[in-house]
C-alpha cells in the first residue's frame, strides 16, 4: 500500500475536513449550501488549498464545478474523474456528496507524488440536490452538454434564473462548452455514503453499486378559491390544501401497494397562508423512483391522474410540470467488478446493490463509463444532521480507492480503454 502516513490518520483528516466544509452554510447553526451561493466560495477556497499542495491544476468551470487535475506519468495521458457534489439539502449532514470529494483528494494525497498511467481529475459538482431551482444535477449536466436554455431559464424562489446565478458568481456563460468532458476522459468514479440501511443490516463497510434507480420529479399546483374561514360553509369550499392533503395520502397508498416503488410528496406551499383564510392555491412536489422505468412511468401517470380526479371532484383546477425524468442507469460492469475486487483487497466482503438515490454518476454515465462505491450509513440516516460515518469505513474506502487505482493501472482492459480515449 503506497504512502507512509497511516491510513487511519488520513481517514480522521477526511472526517475533520467534511466537518469543516459543513460549517460553510447559508443558515448559521444548520448546514445549507445551494447552487453558487456565497458559502460555495468558501468550499472552493478550502478544497483548492488542499489540491494546490499536491501540484494539481485547479479551475472553476462556467457551471461552477470545481476541478483539480493531477497529471499522469505522461502529460498526454488520458484522465480518470473522481468526485461528487458540494451542495446540500436544507439542514443537512456533513457527508452527503462532500465525502466523495474529500476522499478523492485524500486518495491523491496518499499517492505521495506517485504518478499513474492516467491523470486524475477531482471534481466537486456545483449542484446535485435540486434545492435552489427545484431541478437537480445542474453541475454534472454541464459536463455532458445538457445545460440547455430551458434549464438556464429556471428561476429560484427569488426570481433569479440559473443563467443569472452563474453570471452573478462571476462566471461566463460563453465558456459553458469548455465545461464538457474532454475527449480523453476514460471513466468516472464516485464514493458516496449509502444514505440507507442495507449495508449496516448486512454488517458490511462498503458496497459496489451496479445500478441507480430511475427518478421522476413533478411540480403540481392545485388551484381553488381563497375565502373567509369563518363564513364559508364546508360544502361550498374549494380548498386547495385539502385537495393536496387528500392526494398526498393517495400517493402514499399507491406506493405501498407497488413493490419497489417509492413516491414522496416532500414540499407543500399553501397560499395565501393565513390561519383564517381557506387556501386557494397549494403547490406540491412529487418524487417517484423505481428500478424499472416502465413501472415508474406507469406509477407517475397513475398519481397525476389521481390528482386530476381529486381536483375535478372538489371543483379545482390542476397544473403540473415535469422537472426531471431520469431513466434508471446501469453502472459499467467492468468498473463494478474492479470495485468489488478492490473492496475484497481491504479485507471486506463487498455487497452489490442498487442505489435508490440519484447521483451524479447516472448523469456522467451518458458519456463515459461510470461506477460507484457506497460507504455504510450508521442508522441508515442521511439528509439530516445526524448523518454520520464510521472511521473504520472511511479508512476502508480510502484503501479501496488506492487498490482500485492500482488495479486500473495494471489492467489490460483499462489500457485498451485508454488507447481508445
Question: What is the model's pLDDT at position 421?
Answer: 77
pLDDT at 153 over 90: yes
| Mean pLDDT confidence for 170-196 | 97
Q: How confident is the model at residue 95 (pLDDT cuts 50, 70, 90)?
A: very high
Region 173-180 average pLDDT: 96
Predicted confidence at residue 5, as pLDDT, reads 67
List phi, psi (to 5°) of 264: -135, 130
Per-residue pLDDT tens for 288-323?
999 899 999 999 999 999 999 999 999 999 999 998
Q: What is the mean pLDDT of the chain?
A: 96
Set of cell numbers at residue 329: 442507469
- Model pLDDT, residue 326: 87
Is residue 250 pLDDT above 90, yes or no?
yes
Q: What's residue 194's pLDDT?
A: 97
Q: List, as one string, the DSSP characters of 229-267.
A: TTTS-GGG---HHHHHHHHHHHHHHHHHTSTT-EEE---
Average pLDDT over every residue of 251-266 = 96
Q: What does the pLDDT read at residue 227? A: 98
Please list the residues that pair with 185 across neighbouring strands: 79
What CA–CA distance (Å, rounded) separates 287 from 265?
A: 7
CA atoms of 76 and 91, how far apart (whole Å): 43
Judge contact between 392 and 398, C-beta under 8 A: no
**Cell numbers standing for residue 56:** 494539481
Q: Which residues of 48-63 are buried (b: 16+ CB within 10 A; e: fewer)?
A: bebbeebebebebbbb
**Chain segment 1-59, per-residue pLDDT in tens:** 544 469 999 999 999 999 999 999 999 999 999 999 999 999 999 999 999 999 999 99
Q: How far is CA 358 from the centre of its chain?
A: 6
Nearest to 85 by CA among 108, 102, 60, 109: 102
8 Å CB contact between 360 and 82: no
Q: Under 8 Å CB-to-CB from 252, ≥6 apart: which residues?
A: 263
Instruction: Tell me what percent of the residues of the chain surpass a pLDDT of 90.
Output: 95
User: Which residue has 462532500 as its cell numbers?
Assistant: 98
- pTM above threshold 0.75: yes
Question: How many beta carbons lie within 10 A of that of residue 372, not counting itself?
Answer: 28
Q: In order of start, what are the domains of the chain with their CATH numbers?
A: 7-213+328-420 (3.40.630.10), 214-326 (3.30.70.360)
Beta strands in 11-73 (DSSP E): 57-60, 66-70
Express each pLDDT in 400-411 by its tens digit: 999 999 999 999
Convert the pLDDT of each residue in 316-357 to its tens digit.
Answer: 999 999 988 989 999 999 999 999 999 999 999 999 999 999
Q: Give 145's contacts (C-beta < 8 A, 6+ positions apart).
A: 177, 180
Identify the pLDDT of residue 133: 94
Amino acid at each position: 500500500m503506497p504512502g507512509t502516513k497511516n491510513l487511519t490518520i488520513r481517514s480522521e483528516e477526511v472526517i475533520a475536513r467534511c466537518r469543516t466544509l459543513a460549517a460553510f452554510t447559508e443558515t448559521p447553526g444548520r448546514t445549507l449550501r445551494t447552487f453558487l451561493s456565497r458559502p460555495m466560495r468558501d468550499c472552493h477556497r478550502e478544497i483548492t488549498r488542499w489540491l494546490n499542495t499536491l501540484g494539481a491544476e485547479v479551475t472553476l468551470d462556467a457551471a461552477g464545478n470545481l476541478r483539480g487535475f493531477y497529471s499522469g506519468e505522461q502529460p498526454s495521458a488520458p484522465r480518470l474523474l473522481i468526485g461528487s457534489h458540494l451542495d446540500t439539502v436544507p439542514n443537512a449532514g456533513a457527508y452527503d456528496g462532500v465525502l466523495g470529494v474529500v476522499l478523492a483528494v485524500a486518495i491523491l494525497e496518499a499517492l505521495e507524488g506517485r504518478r499513474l498511467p492516467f491523470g486524475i481529475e477531482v471534481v466537486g459538482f456545483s449542484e446535485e440536490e435540486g434545492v435552489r431551482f427545484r431541478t437537480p444535477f445542474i453541475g454534472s449536466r454541464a459536463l455532458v452538454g445538457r445545460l440547455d436554455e430551458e434549464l438556464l431559464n429556471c428561476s429560484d424562489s427569488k426570481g433569479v434564473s440559473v443563467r443569472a446565478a452563474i453570471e452573478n458568481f462571476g462566471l461566463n456563460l460563453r465558456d459553458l462548452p469548455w465545461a464538457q468532458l474532454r475527449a480523453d476522459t476514460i471513466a468516472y468514479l464516485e464514493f458516496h455514503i449509502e444514505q440507507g440501511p442495507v449495508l449496516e443490516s448486512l454488517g458490511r463497510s462498503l458496497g459496489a453499486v451496479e445500478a441507480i434507480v430511475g427518478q421522476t420529479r413533478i411540480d403540481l399546483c392545485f388551484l381553488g378559491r381563497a375565502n373567509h374561514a369563518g363564513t364559508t360553509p364546508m360544502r361550498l369550499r374549494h380548498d386547495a390544501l385539502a385537495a393536496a392533503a387528500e392526494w398526498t395520502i393517495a400517493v402514499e397508498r399507491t406506493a405501498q401497494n407497488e413493490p419497489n416503488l417509492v413516491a414522496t410528496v416532500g414540499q407543500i406551499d399553501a397560499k395565501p397562508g393565513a390561519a383564517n383564510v381557506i387556501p386557494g392555491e397549494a403547490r406540491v412536489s412529487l418524487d417517484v423512483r423505481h428500478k424499472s422505468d416502465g413501472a415508474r412511468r406507469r406509477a407517475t401517470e397513475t398519481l397525476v391522474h389521481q390528482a386530476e380526479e381529486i381536483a375535478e371532484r372538489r371543483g379545482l383546477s390542476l397544473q403540473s410540470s415535469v422537472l426531471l425524468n431520469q431513466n434508471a442507469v446501469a453502472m459499467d460492469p467492468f468498473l463494478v467488478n474492479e470495485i468489488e475486487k478492490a473492496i475484497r483487497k481491504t479485507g471486506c466482503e463487498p455487497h452489490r446493490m442498487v442505489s435508490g438515490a440519484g447521483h451524479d454518476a447516472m448523469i456522467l454515465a451518458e458519456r463515459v463509463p461510470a461506477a460507484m462505491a457506497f460507504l455504510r450509513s450508521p442508522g441508515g440516516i442521511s439528509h439530516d444532521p445526524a448523518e454520520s460515518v464510521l472511521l473504520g469505513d472511511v479508512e476502508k474506502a480510502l484503501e479501496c480507492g488506492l487498490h482500485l487505482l492500482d488495479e486500473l493501472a495494471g489492467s489490460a482492459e483499462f489500457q485498451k480503454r485508454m488507447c481508445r480515449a
